[in-house]
Structure 1
Amino acid sequence: MTGTRFDPSWFEAHHVNLSATERRAATLTTRRTVKKDWQAAWLAQAITCIDLTTLAGDDTPSRVQRLCAKARQPLRDDIMAALGLDALRVGAVCVYPTMVAHAVKALEGSGVPVASVATGFPAGLMPLSLRLAEINYAVDQGASEVDIVITREYALTGQWSKLYDEIAAMREACGPAHMKAILATGDLQTLGNVYKASMVAMQAGSDFIKTSTGKEGLNATLPVSLTMVRALRDFREKSGQIVGFKPAGGIKSAKDAIAWLILMKEELGTRWTRNDLFRFGASSMLGDIERQLEHHVTGRYSAANRHAMA
């Protein structure tokens, strides 16, 4: 992504109708359903869009290695065979910067990229120089994707040019790595702020815009995601550039996966259901998807503990 020059006219006068947004979001999963083989196909596609994530204070190299093994083979052999699948991989593995090298080694030859959070995740309340240094460290360790966090103060106080400059500096620090800008939408208070922050992040060169860190009180919701997706569409019309989308936080079930895929297909088209433009920030969701796919091929529901994450 190259981004554009900072242009507040693209968003300053934009108004988001809360009640209309909520009504539209509520109808997404009632107007379209997928069943049986189609549902299995959609769930398999959802797996390819998962950023399998561990961002815990007690992460260890062995935990990351186990997660990477799951990333290489997210479904059991018997389920894969029953579905007629030869190979299936998740979208990426996402870890803290100090775990990147362990993930890179564990995923060698798999084709699964390593993503790293950075810039003082999750709060981002560090001097910019230190946040840029953390990006450099993650990329040097082998991260090919970097999930950055913004300074929420700039969005809450309308300092959009400062937000643009900050994200543009982070984009430059990422170099060849793809950058996902986490907007922490649960902290932004209004859908209007969500739209404006989305537009500024894309103008500054973000390859993806992402809802949440997963650490806020309110994470990914369909109304927030709809607002961000509409911003994606508007940005494409104004700039001709295509940007990806990543909902994260609170997405836990196969039903959730279907709901967000429906959102992307309805609003942007099939192209945005592929993992180069769409990702889920989720891990526990994979276990439920595997459970639902086992039910599809056997007709029986198994206990959740039969589908361990690692």
Structure 2
Amino acid sequence: MLSILIPVYNFNCSQLVKDLQIQCLSAGIEFEILVLDDTSTLFKTENRVINTLEGCSYIESEIHFGRAKIRNELGRIAQYEHLLFIDSDARVDRSDFIQNYIDNCNQAEVIIGGMKYSDQAPKENALRWHYGSQREFSQAKERNKTPYSSLISFNIMFKRSTFKAFPFDEGTIDLEKGGYGHEDTLLGLKLEANQVSVYHIDNQLVHDYQESNEGFLKNSLVAVEKYVYNPTFRKPETVQQIKIFRVFEKIKQLKMIVPLSFCYRLFGKLMKNQLFSSSPSIRLFDFYRLSYLADYYRKNHKNYGAKQD
């Protein structure tokens, strides 16, 4: 029936697994929960408790997979018909989470439960919370209007045959640069191009990881760098799905890369201070990333074959 697949890196996901296991047992289904550790250095002792739970396994990898490859490896070793991928920093806050997926498993080849955040912003490191609350949370009714561009792999279920045919794209991930950013966009494009049915439901999990401002900002900048060094992200169909790249294309057409680059160099520290405050502006966050991309593009486009307009 159901394989629950959780990639983990330096995070204690033992409580998540316990909560999911209780619901699977209550539903009376055949299930397995596989946690694959991507060479963590922290929380291994805590996560080894998972091996004592019925139907659950904690697998410690000796090689580093990265974000896409580890999900594909989990899909490869899973045994059941439905593959439910859940990020390790998720939290279950509803007692019918598994049952909702069971009830909707035949609605489409891909079912997406969604993501939400806690009601209160953290007192420190608030940037990730504000961004996620404003940009990543939406009800299924809204997500189903644009099912492919609303795809988030934080909490997603595939039919086994579908995932085998359309795994995560490993070829666009640069592990040296952190392997971060836009994997979900590429998956959505691939599913849409192949007319794979996608259906969103209101079965959200709470994103429970309080990422540091510095860490989230760094990862966000790594993600926009892909426009310059990875030609996949300059393809028209990809640009169309990623708003910051669409805007940057217009900036190029208007010959505004140089002044935008200077904005980053002159005001970057001031913008960063605001973003690291208790009430960060997400519009300013957008502008900060855009100006950073202009500066990065200006300095590096010749090295990667990106055309200067």
TM range (shorter): under 0.3
Q: TM-score, normalised by structure 1?
A: 0.23
User: More relative contact order in 1 or in 2 (CA 8 Å, sep 6+)?
Assistant: 1
